[in-house]
């Protein structure tokens, strides 16, 4: 009887415990914000409360810490929190955005303008993870073995020095001058190495996601304590972290694609000729977006990614552009002046046999290349790829911007 009671107690206890644990597996990363609008001071006070359900590793690399970047849109005000190492970090850091802007004009005079709060103004919060230098697997074992090996080598070198006798006094003094020179040389490198950690913070930064809060006055319904009588607050808002959107048509559709999407800009330049020739066709890359799943896969392979655009004329490649290799990331911006490829339109009907091939390529440590995805923009490819082409041809001088998904 006693054993049966213990068994029933354990079974009921396990059932009560496993139920909430199953729910937490699918919880998405969230961030908490609080915004206070002060009409009297003409300021916005944005408080980053914290975040929860954050990933603790990317592939085989552990997350070292997290930071949040706050941006007022439209505007140039940007702020960053301090880094926190917990997966449920708590910041409670406040940033003040001035709505009164002073701009300098001619003859030393300045002009003061005030931003009004409405639904067109946004607060954008982006959360980043900073990765550690070492992977999760096998590092501790390798470090201990290396330390043991270094100790053995030091002992052997010491024994060899004790047993060897050098009678030439001049030869024993000769290495001193080059050693001093080398010490000075290497000491300069040590000074340069002090700046490396700051660079590593950027290189090891990965975007977890972002959220936007429109500054609509309807959202400011709470009266904050210990503030001015006219101040209003949104209260504590917890919002899920989503892929970064640009607000253009089709931006929401790109979330469904796991391989990645590119924001492409296609423009046919205007021509003075009646036959519409010599109006060059320019294809630019603006932004890259790929899923967290794709980013994790390439993070585990320790690979580098790059984008390649090729111009196909009459079935052969005549021009191509390739980006610099970059670490796996959820989002990335490109310089449109550099990330472009141009198709010449030297005679009437020349663009009928032209198409653009865009590839998303991964290159691992041993140099093996793998195509993550690709697509073709041209007159006869179908779908949104041909729609962008047709709109650019019909509307010369107008840039056609669309998100194109890799297949």
Across the chain, mean pLDDT equals 75
Q: Are residues 340 and 210 in the same domain?
A: no
20 domain-assigned: no
Average pLDDT, integer, range 239-245: 73
Q: Tens of pLDDT along 19-37?
A: 333 333 447 889 999 999 9
Q: Are residues 389 and 349 in the same domain?
A: yes
Q: Are residues 264 and 235 in the same domain?
A: no
152 domain-assigned: no
Query: Given a cut of 60, is residue 254 above it in pLDDT?
Result: no
Q: Tens of pLDDT along 47-76?
A: 999 999 888 876 667 888 999 999 998 888
Q: Are residues 35 and 78 in the same domain?
A: yes
349 domain-assigned: yes
Q: Last residue of some domain: 188, 218, 240?
A: 240
187 domain-assigned: no
Distance, in Å, from the CA atom of 262 to the CA atom of 384, rounded to the nearest integer, reads: 13
Average pLDDT, integer, range 220-238: 88
Give the pLDDT confidence score for residue 152 in this predicted structure: 62
Q: Are residues 74 and 214 in the same domain?
A: yes
Q: What is the CATH number of the domain that holds 212?
A: 2.60.40.150
Give the pLDDT confidence score for residue 97 in this predicted structure: 92
Q: Are residues 336 and 208 in the same domain?
A: no
Q: Are residues 211 and 284 in the same domain?
A: no
pLDDT band, residue 5 (cuts 50/70/90): low
Q: Are residues 207 and 291 in the same domain?
A: no
Higher-confidence residue of 113 and 339: namely: 339
Q: Are residues 220 and 308 in the same domain?
A: no
**Residue % of the chain over a pLDDT of 90:** 21
Q: Tens of pLDDT along 140-195?
A: 444 555 555 666 656 666 555 555 545 444 444 444 444 554 454 444 444 444 44
Q: Last residue of some domain: 178, 213, 240?
A: 240
Query: Given a cut of 90, is residue 357 above it in pLDDT?
Result: yes
Query: Given a cut of 70, is residue 14 above it in pLDDT?
Result: no
Give the pLDDT confidence score for residue 19 in this predicted structure: 37
261 domain-assigned: yes
Q: Last residue of some domain: 211, 240, 269?
A: 240
Give the pLDDT confidence score for residue 298 in this predicted structure: 66
Give the pLDDT confidence score for residue 51 in this predicted structure: 94
Q: Are residues 286 and 393 in the same domain?
A: yes
Average pLDDT, integer, range 373-385: 84
Give the pLDDT confidence score for residue 194 in this predicted structure: 45
Give the pLDDT confidence score for residue 11 in this predicted structure: 53
Higher-confidence residue of 382 and 9: namely: 382
Query: Given a cut of 60, is residue 131 above it in pLDDT?
Result: yes
Q: Tens of pLDDT along 258-272?
A: 678 899 999 988 766
Average pLDDT, integer, range 99-117: 78
Distance between first and last Cα of the chain: 63
219 domain-assigned: yes
C-alpha angle 96/207/237, rounded to 5°?
45
Into how many domains does the chain fold? 2
Q: Tens of pLDDT along 367-376?
A: 788 888 899 9
Give the pLDDT confidence score for residue 150 in this predicted structure: 63
pLDDT band, residue 247 (cuts 50/70/90): very low
Give the pLDDT confidence score for residue 84 in this predicted structure: 92
Query: Given a cut of 60, is residue 396 above it in pLDDT?
Result: yes
Average pLDDT, integer, range 124-150: 65
Q: Are residues 211 and 305 in the same domain?
A: no
3-class secondary structure per residue, the chain: CHHHHHHHHHHHHHHHHHHHHHHHCCCCCEEEEEEEEECCCCEEEEEEEEEECCCCEECCEEEEEEEEEEEEECCCCEEECCCECCCCCEEEEEEEEECEEEEECHHHCEEEEECCCCCCCEEEEEEEEEEEEEECCCHHHHHHHHHHHHHHHHHHHHHHHHHCCCCCHHHHHCCHHHHHHHHHHHHHHHHHHCCHHHHHHHHCEEEEEEEEEECCHHHCCECCCCCCCCCEECCCEEEECECCCCCCCCCHHHHHCCCCEEEEEEEECCCCCCCCCCCCEEEEEEEEECCHHHHHHHHHCCCEEEEEEEEEECCEEEEEEECCCECCCCEEECCCCCCEEEECCCCCCHHHHEEEEEEEEEECCCCCEEEEEEEEECCCCCHHHHHHHHHHHHCCCCCEEEEEECC
Give the pLDDT confidence score for residue 273 in this predicted structure: 58
Distance, in Å, from the CA atom of 279 to the CA atom of 333, rounded to the nearest integer, reads: 27
247 domain-assigned: no
87 domain-assigned: yes
Q: Are residues 217 and 93 in the same domain?
A: yes
pLDDT band, residue 81 (cuts 50/70/90): very high
Q: Tens of pLDDT along 304-347?
A: 888 999 999 888 899 999 998 887 777 788 888 889 999 887 77
Give the pLDDT confidence score for residue 146 in this predicted structure: 54
Give the pLDDT confidence score for residue 200 in this predicted structure: 45
The boundaries of the domain holding residue 63 are 30-134+203-240
């Amino acid at each position: 009887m006693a054993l049966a009671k213990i068994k029933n107690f354990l079974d009921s206890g396990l059932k009560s415990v496993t139920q909430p644990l199953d729910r937490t597996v699918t919880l998405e990363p969230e961030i908490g914000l609080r915004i206070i609008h002060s009409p009297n001071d003409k300021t916005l006070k944005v408080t980053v409360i914290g975040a929860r359900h954050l990933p603790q590793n990317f592939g085989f690399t552990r997350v070292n810490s997290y930071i949040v970047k706050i941006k007022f849109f439209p505007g140039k005000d940007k702020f960053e929190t301090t880094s926190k190492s917990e997966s449920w970090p708590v910041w409670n850091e406040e940033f003040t955005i001035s709505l009164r802007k002073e701009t300098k004009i001619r003859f030393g005079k300045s002009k003061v303008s005030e931003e009004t709060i409405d639904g067109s103004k946004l607060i954008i919060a982006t959360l980043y993870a900073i990765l550690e230098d070492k992977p999760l697997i096998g590092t501790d074992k390798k470090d201990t073995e290396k330390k043991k090996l270094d100790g053995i080598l030091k002992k052997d070198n010491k024994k060899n020095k004790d047993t060897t006798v050098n009678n030439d006094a001049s030869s024993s003094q000769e290495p001193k001058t080059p050693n001093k020179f080398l010490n000075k040389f290497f000491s300069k490198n040590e000074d340069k190495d002090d700046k490396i950690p700051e660079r590593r913070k950027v290189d090891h930064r990965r975007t977890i996601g972002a959220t936007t809060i429109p500054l609509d006055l309807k959202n400011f319904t709470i009266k904050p304590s210990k503030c001015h009588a006219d101040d209003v607050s949104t209260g504590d808002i917890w919002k899920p972290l989503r892929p970064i959107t640009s607000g253009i048509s089709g931006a929401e559709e790109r979330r469904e694609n796991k391989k990645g999407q590119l924001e492409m800009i296609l423009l046919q330049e205007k021509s003075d000729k009646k036959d519409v020739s010599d109006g060059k066709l320019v294809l630019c890359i603006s932004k890259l977006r790929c899923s967290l799943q794709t980013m994790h896969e390439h993070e585990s392979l320790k690979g580098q990614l790059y984008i390649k655009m090729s111009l196909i004329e009459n079935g052969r490649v005549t021009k191509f552009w390739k980006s610099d290799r970059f670490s796996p990331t959820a989002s990335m911006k490109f310089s449109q002046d550099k990330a472009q490829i141009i198709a010449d339109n030297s005679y009437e009907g020349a663009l009928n046999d032209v198409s653009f091939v865009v590839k998303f390529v991964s290159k691992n440590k041993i140099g093996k290349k793998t195509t993550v995805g690709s697509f073709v923009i041209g007159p006869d490819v179908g779908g949104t790829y041909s729609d962008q082409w047709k709109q650019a041809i019909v509307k010369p001088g107008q840039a056609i911007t669309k998100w194109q998904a890799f297949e």
